Amino acid sequence: AGRSNTGLGRVWLWLSEKLARDAQAAQLAPALVLLLQRQRLNRWALGLVVHSLWLLALLTALMLLLMLMATRRYGFVWETTILSSDTFVSLTQTLSTIPAWLGFSVPDETMIRASGNGALSIENARQAWAAWLVGVLLVYGIVPRLLLAGFCLWRWKQGRAALRLDLDLPEYLELRERLMPSSERLGVNDAEPAALHQVQSGAGATESNGALLVAIELDDQQIWP
């Protein structure tokens, strides 16, 4: 029975300490958010997280796209109801401008118009559309997210290096007074004496008839001839 009580006591102490630590840790997150908000760092931290997640998703999509196009045969067919073929051709050529500068093969106008009637069986057309898809995903998806994530990371590092506590705020002043008080009571240094010295005063002058009395008291340590 005694051992079981001791074990329950230890469990209770461990649980109490854990709950106390969790309660203190729960206050750290709001305090950190408030500090970052005052220094205007929350936007860069949030931007870094969002762009990093989008970058991860786009890289995953690029890998899946390459794996699927490497193991299966796909044909590209575009369809539209309200847009004309000229509009789709113009849009495709506009999106192909930057990928073409980077060396990606893009479909020409003949391939684009022919793909509106059905999937082309020409190998060059399939490769051109595949390269166009990869180039568009890379140029307009992955690269902007990578640049934005890098910019947010750069601003975050700059702000974190200059991050300081504003000790002039009222809450910090109150905390500083509690941790480092300007004055502190030390108590009594010397013990109270058992008895105080009593000063006795005598007569300062004595009446006499023309006589003068002079008294000189010499110290024993003073050399006197």
pLDDT means per 10 residues, the chain with 225 residues, are 54 60 59 70 87 96 93 83 85 90 87 76 83 93 96 88 69 68 68 68 58 68 62
Q: What is the rounded distance in angstroms from the CA atom of residue 56 to the CA atom of residue 48? A: 12
* Whole-number pLDDT of residue 5: 47
DSSP secondary structure code for residue 165 in this structure: -
Q: Are 68 and 162 in contact (CB under 8 A)?
A: no
Closest CA to 96 of 69, 132, 61, 123: 132
What pLDDT is stored for residue 67 in this prediction? 94
pTM: 0.60
Per DSSP, the chain holds a count of helices (H) and strands (E) of: 9, 0
Residues 187, 190: Cα–Cα separation, whole Å: 9
Give residues with Cβ within 8 angstroms of 206, minimum separation 6: 213
- Asked whether 131 and 103 are in contact (CB, 8 A), the reply is no
Tell the residue number behind the tokens 């997640």, with chain if given: 53
* Axis-axis angle for helices 42-71, 28-38 (nearest 10): 100
Write down the residue that tokens 């970052």 correspond to.
36
> Tokens 């060396």 sit at which residue?
103
